């Protein structure tokens, strides 16, 4: 049995989710998007991440667990709530030039979360 409570992939996924939530709450993303649902879906990932954390599956089996599929579906929903596949470009276009550097950093944090999960 593998101790999944110390699996780096799950630890990084959990930390990236927390970083995402802080970024969405504090970031100044301009435009039309559903902030409430983007946060709610991320919060709903807790149960899947906890199930994986305490599953004690072998590393090979962990990647094919049903919870991983659920996480992927939730990421797709989050991208939709952010505004679709071009969400980052849309936010950049609607932000004044003096605020772009900070926004680019926030976008990088959100992209890190999406790619990590």
Number of domains in the chain: 1
Containing 105, the helix (H) or strand (E) segment is helix 100-116
Report pTM: 0.91
**In the predicted model, is pLDDT for residue 3 greater than 90?**
no
Residue 82's domain is classified under what CATH number?
1.20.1440.150
Output the CA–CA distances (angstroms, integers) from residue 36 to 48, 57, 87, 101, in the order listed.
20, 33, 16, 24
Tell me the pLDDT tens digit for each residue of 68-116. 999 999 999 999 999 999 999 999 999 999 999 999 999 999 999 999 9
Measure the CA–CA gap between 53 and 47, rounded to whole angstroms.
10
Token pair 């995402």 is found at 20
Measure the CA–CA gap between 2 and 104, rounded to whole angstroms.
38
Tell me the pLDDT tens digit for each residue of 44-72. 999 999 999 999 999 889 889 999 999 99
Which structural domain, as residue segments, surrounds residue 18? 4-116
């Amino acid at each position: 049995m593998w101790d999944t409570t110390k699996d780096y992939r799950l630890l990084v996924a959990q930390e990236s989710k927390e970083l995402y939530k802080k970024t969405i709450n504090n970031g100044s993303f301009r435009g039309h998007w559903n902030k409430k649902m983007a946060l709610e879906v991320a919060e709903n990932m807790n149960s899947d991440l906890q199930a994986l954390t305490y599953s004690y599956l072998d590393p090979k089996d962990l990647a094919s667990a049903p919870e991983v599929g659920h996480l992927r579906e939730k990421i797709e929903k989050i991208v939709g709530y952010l505004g679709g596949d071009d969400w980052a470009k849309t936010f950049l276009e609607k932000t004044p030039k003096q605020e772009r550097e900070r926004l680019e950093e926030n976008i990088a944090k959100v992209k890190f979360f999406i790619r990590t999960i």
